[in-house]
Amino acid sequence: MAERMIEFRDALREAMSEAMREDPKVFLIGEEVAEYNGAYKVSRGMLEEFGPRRIIDAPISETGFAGLGIGAAMMGLKPIVEFMSWSFSLVAADQILNNAPKMLYMSGGQLQCPIVFRGNDGAGGQLGSTHSWCVESLYANVPGLKMVIPSDPYDAKGLLAAAIADPDPVFCLESERMLSMTGDVPEASYTLPIGKAIIRRPGTDCTIVSFGRPVHFCMEAAEQLAKEGIDCEVIDGRSVKPLDIDTIAESVRKTNCCVVVDQSWSFASVGSEVAAEVHRICFDDLDNHVHRVHNDDVPAPYAHNLEAEMLPNARKICEAVRSVTYNA
């Protein structure tokens, strides 16, 4: 099959457009998604194809349009709610955390909430603290929601398609820094299973687990470490919730070492959860305690050099792997 290289943003759009062609219950609402063609051009051309009743420009009013999406989902529609940035979702926290993930439970199973919230997560590049949120650790704490974090165009299409098809609320965390990344993406529709990780690079000496954009830093680190004779297995979790701890544990049983790389802050985080589970399940297999690489525990700074230092990067990952494998 010939390669079809498209951008991450195109892959997201394909997932949405295919779902919308298939099912009239799917619609997209968000700031600038229609006439502006998407603040990041993810929804470019969709207004033209689907019209203003299904591609809906929302006022700058996250609580309002997130809540509207939830009400529509309670009635059986399948809304896709775009947050220009997950940083802006904080003002809609009550809707996305209190209403969407708890509707099924609070109604005793009467009301499903098949909604997708999606948008850019993580530091976008010198945007300062308020615009550089990594919400995965905050939100993954809440029961009733699912969370996927694609790391390349192929996953972006497959995971978003799965999210739209899913009967529960799914948070899809994308990255502004990856939207222009190209990759080979099949033209045909497909979904990737939510809650299933993938091994990006097999290895024998150390398991590195990550999600989303930092997976690429892990791969970069693994190449460097290979030159030093440390053979890393890189696992892309793909979903934070459900977490595919089975795949991770299987790898750790083989490598006996584990580093978790998580672009959110360390305290009570996705990284600490993975580490706790690895310690619980692989206690007797571990040669060292799980090491973690996170954002430094500071608000995201503006200055280029400070931001670069604050985020997880290949250097920090290499240091953690050397340390966990007693090669430091």
Partner 1 sequence: MDVTTVMSSSPSTQEAARAKTPIPGPEVLVKWLRDMMLIREFEVRCMQAYQNKLAGGFLHVYNGQEAVAVGCIAALQSDDPVITAYRDHGHALARGMDPKIGMAELFGRIGGCAKGKGGSMHFFDVTNHMYGGHGIVGAQTPVGAGLAFATQYEDEVINKRPNSRVTLCFLGDGALNQGAFHEACNLAKVLNIPVIYVVENNQYAMGTAIDRCTSAADQLTKKALAYDMDAIEVDGMDVIKTYCDMKALVDDVRANPRPAFVDMKCYRYKGHSMSDPRKYRTHEEEQSYESQDPIDTLSKFMLKTGVLEEPAIKAMSKEVRTEIRAAVKWAEESPEPDISELYHDVYVEQWGPYTGTSFPQFMQDESKGGS
Is the CB of residue 266 less than 8 Å from the CB of residue 297? Answer: yes
- The angle formed by the CA atoms of residues 268, 274 and 276, to the nearest 5 degrees, is 75
Nearest Cα residue to 197 out of 158, 156, 242: 242
Between residues 53 and 227, which has the closer beta carbon with respect to partner 1?
A: 53
> From the list 98, 130, 180, 204, which residue makes contact with partner 1 (rule: CB under 8 A)?
98
CB atoms within 10 A of CB 314: 19
Is residue 270 exposed (0-12), middle (13-18) or buried (19+ Cβ within 10 Å)? buried
Among the listed residues 17, 39, 90, 112, the single contact to partner 1 using CB under 8 A: 112
* Binding to partner 1, residues 232-291 (CB under 8 A): 241-246, 273, 277
Say if CB 164 and CB 80 are below 8 A apart.
Answer: yes
Write down the least CB distance from residue 156 to partner 1, Å.
19
The site string for partner 1 over 155-174 (x = CB under 8 A, - otherwise) reads ------------xx------
**Minimum CB separation from partner 1 for residue 197, in Å?**
10
Q: What SS3 class is residue 107? A: coil
99 lies in the binding site for partner 1 (CB under 8 A): yes
Among 96-104, 150-158, 224-232, 283-291, the segment contacting partner 1 (CB under 8 A): 96-104
150 binds partner 1 (CB under 8 A): no
Sign for the pseudo-dihedral over CA of 277, 194, 202, 175: negative
Query: Which residue among 62, 174, 273, 307 is the active-site one?
Result: 62
How many Cα atoms within 13 Å fall on the side-chain side of residue 171? 32
Residue 195 as a binder of partner 1 (CB under 8 A): the answer is yes
Q: Which of 7, 31, 82, 131 is catalytic?
A: 131
Residues in contact with partner 1 by CB under 8 A are 24-25, 27, 53-54, 56, 58-59, 61, 63-77, 94-95, 98-99, 104-112, 143-144, 146, 167-168, 193-196, 241-246, 273, 277
